[in-house]
Each structure stands twice: as C-alpha cells, then as structure tokens.
Structure 1
C-alpha cells in the first residue's frame, strides 16, 4: 500500500480538519469579542462564526496535502544516499546513523519555504477572499473587485507574520504536526483576518 493511501491517512486528515475548524471558530469568536469590546455591538455573530468554520473545513484538507507534498518532494532530513557496501561497512554505517542526528537539508528547507510563501500564500489568500464572499452571497463582479482590492494588503500583512512561523514549522516540527502548529499560530492570524472581514 502506498504512503498516499495508508490506512492512517483518512483519520489523520479528519483530525487535522477538526483541529482547523475548532481553531478557526476560536479565532473568529475572539475577533468578534475584541471588536465588540472596542466598539460595542453583539458579541458573537453566529453567521460569521459558521462562515469561518466552513472555510476551515474546506481549506484544511488541501493545505494538509500541500504540506505533505512539500515534505515528500523536499524532505527536511533526506535519507543518506544508498550505496553498495559489504556487511561490515553496513553495520558500521548503521551504528553511525543511529548515533548521528538527521541532517537538515538547507536547500530543501529553502525550497519548501519559498514555495509555501509564494504559491501557497497566494492561493490561500485568493481562496479565502473568494470563499468568504461566496458564503456572503456576493456575485462574481464583487468577488473580482474584492480580490483586486484586498489581495496584496492581506498578502503583505501575512508576510509580517507567517514567514517566521513557516520557517520554525519546517525546521523544528515533524510534518504530521505542522498543521496543528500552523493552526495554533493561525489563531492570531485568524483574529486579524476576522477583524478585517467580519
């Protein structure tokens, strides 16, 4: 059975999606409470809360798959080259490998970082703008105008926050936990985005 279709994959995907939905709900609720505290009004708008949960449920699976694809194509700790060795050399190599820490691939880490902060960030920003406006019942013209108006300000705001989270996530966190760590950092980001959009 291939890695992509391992039995644990659907349950892991379900778990990260549930975590994403919960963290999105919490960040949106926090943003609404902050906004109400600063300017009055109702504390929780259930419609806005549901919109953010729906967006998380839809966007978490492709983002999780994206992280897996980045790691598969650019492993943080690539395995040492396989070479033909006799039994004694292999035993010595195995002992050395057990005693050595895995080596961080700087090239692969940079490649993942650049891809995530360009393609990943751009697609996520556009996807968020499109989805929040579709959920609000807006038409194509309004959505296109909103993308033109909000895309770069949101992307630039993200560049003030996400690069440090991304590099720490890529270097320190195992791939299966990156969505959770990213989601925890996303609580703060979600408050910002919610304040911009609720």
Structure 2
C-alpha cells in the first residue's frame, strides 16, 4: 500500500506542476514560477485518498471477479498445460458501471470537499462547490475514465489498477488542477 501511495502522490505532484506550467505559459508568466501550496494540497489529498481507492478496487474485484476461480490442481495434473481462465464479461460490465457511477460520484465529491477543506474553505463554500462543480467535473471525466476503466478491469491486475489509474490520472490531474484554481 505504501508503495502505491508514494507513486500516486508523485504522479499527483507531477500533474499539478504540469498544470502550473500550462497555466504560466497561457498567462505569459515565467515557466519557472511555481506555487508550492497547490502542489502540497494535491499531494496531501492523494495520500489520503489513495488507500480508499485501493480498497474500492479490491472490493470490486472480490465482489465481481474478472475471471472464474480455476479449479484446484489434483495430483497428476501438475504436468498438464494450464489454460488462463476466461474473463467474466458480466462482472467486467458490473465493475465498470459501479466505477463510473458510484465510484466517480464518491471520488469527485471527496476531491471537491477534500481539496476545499485543505484550502481552508468553510462548509458553505464546500457545499456550494459540490453543487456547482460536481456535474461539470463528472461530465468532463466521461471523456477519459470510461476507457481507462475498461482497460483497467480487462487487462490490468487488481494490485496495479490504482497506479494505472494514477498514470492516466496525470492528464486528469492537470484538468483538476486547472479547474481547482
């Protein structure tokens, strides 16, 4: 878990730095001018959020396995070729739907509330941000996350899914960093 959290935090910092580079370029500011506060906020949020996402991915896989459990090896079967179990399309679809609805809504809500709290916003500001920003962020996410989820659930091992998502999330993090200004 620690390794995943550290990697995700590093990717989060990278996405925020890239977002600041883009923003500085667009505003004709020096490219070397960085604001450390948003980088720290994103990294702290990622450190707090990543374990929750690891547990979510583990639960999805436990509840809806991607492949049927292979039968136990009986004595004498050790030398027979082992076929990879077929993927379970029904479970892949269920995981995808849950991840794109429940998972997305919870993650977006946690992001808006978490970053708002780390920025020192009060309850009223956070609630207003949830009301104003939740749907636009969700809709923006539909351009990236459905494809990432299909790839993740169909070919990425469960213990690598959060990091895979974090790598894809560098692009998403740039968007969120620019949106959270």
Deviation at 1:132, TM superposition (A): 1.1
Q: Quick check: 2:66–2:88 contact (8 Å CA) kept in 1? A: yes
Aligned CA RMSD, in angstroms, stands at 1.7
Deviation at 1:101, TM superposition (A): 2.1
**Residue 61 of structure 1: aligned partner:** 51
Trace 1:51-90 onto structure 2 (pairs within 5 A). 51-80=41-70
Trace 1:155-174 onto structure 2 (pairs within 5 A). 155-174=138-157
**Residue 146 of structure 1: aligned partner:** 129
Q: CA separation in 2, counterparts of 1:33 and 1:197?
A: 15
**Residue 37 of structure 2: aligned partner:** 47
Correspondence for 2:7 among 19, 35, 54: 19
Deviation at 1:38, TM superposition (A): 0.7
Trace 1:92-131 onto structure 2 (pairs within 5 A). 95=80, 98=82, 100-131=83-114
Deviation at 1:80, TM superposition (A): 4.2
**What per-residue deviation string (whole Å, max 9, x for no partner) do you get for residues 126-183 of structure 1?**
0000011111111111111110000000001011110001100110111111111111
- TM-score under structure 1 length normalisation: 0.85
Q: CA separation in 2, counterparts of 1:164 and 1:75?
A: 19
Deviation at 1:68, TM superposition (A): 0.7
Stretches of 4+ aligned residues off by more than 3 angstroms: 90-94
Correspondence for 2:24 among 27, 36, 40: 36
Q: CA separation in 2, counterparts of 1:93 and 1:111?
A: 34
Q: Give the unaligned 5+ runs of structure 1.
A: 1-12
- TM-score under structure 2 length normalisation: 0.92
Q: Secondary structure of the residue that 1:160 maps to in structure 2? A: coil
Q: Secondary structure of the residue that 1:95 maps to in structure 2? A: coil
1:77–1:55: structure 2 CA closer, same or farther, 3 Å change rule?
Answer: same
**Which one has the largest radius of gyration?**
1
Q: Give the unaligned 5+ runs of structure 2.
A: none
